[in-house]
Amino acid sequence: MLSETAEEAFERAKEEMMALNHVFVQDKFTIGQLGSENAKYFFSVRDSITYRCNSLKWHTSQLSSMHANLELQLHSSFLDGICTAPLLPSHQAGLHYLFDDIVFGNVSLLDYVANLVGLVFEGFAQRGKYRWNNAVKSATSNHGPLPGSETGNLLKQAHNDWVNGLQAYRGDLIHKHAILGNASHEWKLDASGIQTSLRVVIPSNLAKLFSRISLPNDGLDICSAAETIGISTSNLSTNILSSLTRRIRANSEKPWIRDQDTTT
């Protein structure tokens, strides 16, 4: 199950996307343009952001459920006198299968959001050309409307504080090798009997992402880390989408905000 904080973060990102959709449709498209290729492209990005938020909710919830089920399996095996040590590698790997997907999905969400940054600031001539790194590069340049804007400042700060490290970790997963955090089966005896638990912590090279969080001495568990990544990325997406909404409202009379359909 997701925490209430994580659930709210994903929902806020979707709600802000729909708020942007409302002003985008009002200011970018006339009735006759709603069926244009530009409009269709915008709607596809809108729907992709909603899809990715739902996907991240599902994956993060599945990770928590899998962890709980593995702990039940561990407890049953222990009570049945089965040696649990051989189970540990499969428990560790199974949780990381989902965790890796969660990392990929969070980076994907940011790329989708950056695509909208390109549409708002550069127009539909940049349709499909913007990803997160393109947006950050534009925000740090001396050209165009993005540098110095609210959105541009958000991009630069978020890249330095959060996204660059997440992308680097994702890059290592894709291009170098699998990365697994330490795992252990733990037991303790209390008044209610034997208690068993499965602990899988985040890899050490990911821990720097959480430098502003007080971490346990033995590391942050993988389920908590997945939620924290999702909350941080969703909140960032919400803030950027909100800044785009304000940008359109403040500039609705300017020529660049209503460009011609690039397919005509």
Distance CA 180, CA 200 (A): 9
Query: pLDDT higher for 259 or 127?
Result: 127
Distance CA 139, CA 119 (A): 14
In the prediction, which pLDDT does 200 show? 93
Amino acid sitting at position 52:
R
pLDDT tens digits, one per residue of 91-131: 999 999 999 999 999 999 999 999 999 988 988 877 778 89
On average, the pLDDT of the chain sits at 87
Cα radius of gyration (the chain): 22
Block residue for tokens 């925000």 = 139
Q: Which two tokens stand for residue 185?
A: 């089966």
Whole-prediction pTM: 0.90
Q: Name the DSSP letter for residue 201.
A: B
pLDDT tens digits, one per residue of 135-169: 999 999 988 899 999 999 999 999 998 899 999 99
Q: Which two tokens stand for residue 50?
A: 């909603």
| Contact indicator for 70, 91 with CB cutoff of 8 Å | yes
Residue 80's CB is within 10 A of a number of other CB atoms, namely 8
Coil, helix or strand for 117? helix
- pLDDT surpassing 50 at residue 263: no
Which residues is 201 bridged to in the sheet? 221
List b or e across 135-165, with b for residues whose CB sees 16 or more CB atoms inside 10 angstroms. bbebbeeeeebbbebebbebbbebbeebbeb
pLDDT tens digits, one per residue of 182-219: 999 887 877 777 788 899 998 888 877 777 655 555 56
Q: What percent of the chain lies above the pLDDT cut of 70?
A: 89
